[in-house]
Amino acid sequence: MRIVTLAASGSFLLAALGTGSCSPENPPVEPAADELVFGQFYGECSGERCIDIYKLDTRHQELLEDTKDAYPTTTAPYEGAFVPLATSFYRRAEDLGQYVPAQLLREPNGPIGQPDAGDWGGYYLEVNKKGKRSFWLLDTQKRNLPAYLHPLADTLRARIDQLP
């Protein structure tokens, strides 16, 4: 696995794209994660967009949407009931793993900031790599997040807004 860091805005775990042939000198590149589960949630909310959770499966190049729409907990990874979306939606989210900071992968599971504390919602993010599941509930208010998570929060908002 190749890890690329960007010093200007913190360290990021990137899934580099291999452009050359596969050889011992140029092995195939592993993705940053096998699956990313991500979305947004609001506790004091009504209507269709109160809880939107998606699963990005990089091995099968699929984006799936959760039909359970359960409020995520701070104690365990999200257990959804996922159905596939059109390939065009996968294309809108396929690069999301590139925005997951390496520093986040060292954080303990659970909340970061005060997600949904003031009825402003939260983001759910789970990274599944080789059977290991790590998850976080992130504040949507960047003032409550460490600076290294600001680009990720912006990207989550942008990607979720493009999905059904």
pLDDT at 114: 96
| Residues with Cβ within 8 Å of residue 11, at least 6 apart in sequence | 5, 101, 102, 103, 148
Average of pLDDT values for 65-70? 94
Residue 101: CATH number of its domain: 3.30.1560
Over residues 1-57, the pLDDT tens digits come to 323 333 333 333 333 333 333 333 433 334 467 899 999 999 888 767 799 999 999
Number of domains within the chain: 1
Over residues 139-152, the pLDDT tens digits come to 999 999 999 999 99
Location of structure tokens 């775990």: 13
Q: Which domain holds residue 156?
A: 35-161
Residue 72 counted as domain residue: yes
Residue 112 counted as domain residue: yes
Residue 98 counted as domain residue: yes
Residue 20 counted as domain residue: no
Over residues 98-120, the pLDDT tens digits come to 999 999 999 999 999 999 998 89
